[in-house]
Structure 1
Amino acid sequence: MTLRASAALFAAILSIGPSVAQAQMQDPGAAQIMMEASEFNYGVLDFGASGSRMVKFRNTGKRPLVITSIQSSCGCLTAEIPKAPLAPGATGEIRFKYDTKRPGVFRKTMTIASNAGTEPSVVFTVKGEIRPDPNPPASGSMPPK
């Protein structure tokens, strides 16, 4: 094989590389995540009320779906990562909790990362309002130990 033919073959192989990677990312047989909703609105909650809620999701793909991480935009919003892979066609849930001891209007997000083929990261928004503390500590007083 001549040097020119080798160079042409090498260039052809390099040009195929990105196409193969794109095809793997859009594997029609991969796991897929479909959230029941893209956001949750708490409405108006009392200070200190339960902030525990959940959102359902479904694996619409052909392979098991694995949630690899959930990152929230604030420490005031926490979530539990489902431990077991979700079978194709099955429905799962993500439990989350907002700290309701932070009065005021809020809008936070959770980024849910998974092994889904076409959309491995999904952003879920949580919003609402927490009423002020009805029993705020007296000025100058020390909180109880």
Structure 2
Amino acid sequence: MRKVILGLSTICLMVFTSCKEDASKKINENSVTEAAERDAVASKFPVLEFEKSEHDFGEIEAKTAVETVFNYKNTGDAPLIITDIKTTCGCTVPEDWSKEPLAPGESAKFTVKFNGSGSNKVSKTITVSANTEKGSEIVKISAFVKPDPNA
């Protein structure tokens, strides 16, 4: 029995080691070049750069609607695509933003409306989801909401 097991082990060892091919012969130069080009393009990202990242409305009366415009530019090497703009609450609404790709060097804008709810110092965050390297950028608005004189 030992001789049979030893014989089978020897045959298996010879089969596995004799079928070994040189891996360097399997590399195709065209595949290497294509992979290098693909990796070079994949490392290029758009860069979302805002003219201003914060806007302060100053003092406003309660329930007074105000709005501001955030201008931005694609300073990266690839087309910028904004997929979504979200706010921290329903009292702040982003509008007028394009879902079309923005070429490198081009500018665009979106509007943020705030309905004046809250009291005292109010800060809101707007998250811009895009195909940048980070995946999202943040802009902020703030205001000092004075009490409603009619209340």
Question: 1:46 deviation in Å?
Answer: 2.3
1:96 equivalent in structure 2: 112
Structure 2: which amino acid aligns with 1:108? K
Give the one of 49, 59, 72 matched to 1:44: 59
Counterparts of 1:93 and 1:37, CA distance in 2: 11
Structure 1: which amino acid aligns with 2:91? C
1:119 equivalent in structure 2: 134
Secondary structure, aligned partner of 2:110:
strand
2:100 equivalent in structure 1: 84
Counterparts of 2:128 and 2:117, CA distance in 1: 25
Counterparts of 1:73 and 1:47, CA distance in 2: 19
Deviation beyond 6 Å, 4+ runs, structure 1? none
Question: 1:77 deviation in Å?
Answer: 1.1
Counterparts of 2:65 and 2:91, CA distance in 1: 13
Between Structure 1 and Structure 2, whose CA radius of gyration is higher? 2
Counterparts of 2:54 and 2:119, CA distance in 1: 20
TM-score by length of 2: 0.66
2:130 counterpart of 1:130: no
Contact 1:32–1:119 (8 Å) recurs in 2 = no
The count of corresponding residues between Structure 1 and Structure 2 is 117
Contact 2:83–2:99 (8 Å) recurs in 1 = no
Question: 1:38 deviation in Å?
Answer: 2.0
Question: 1:57 deviation in Å?
Answer: 0.7
Secondary structure, aligned partner of 1:53:
strand
Structure 2: which amino acid aligns with 1:64? P
Question: 1:121 deviation in Å?
Answer: 0.6
1:105 equivalent in structure 2: 121
CA RMSD of aligned residues (A): 2.7
Contact 2:78–2:103 (8 Å) recurs in 1 = yes
Kindly indicate which of the two structures has a greater share of residues assigned to helix.
2
Counting aligned pairs with the same residue, the percent is 29
TM-score by length of 1: 0.68
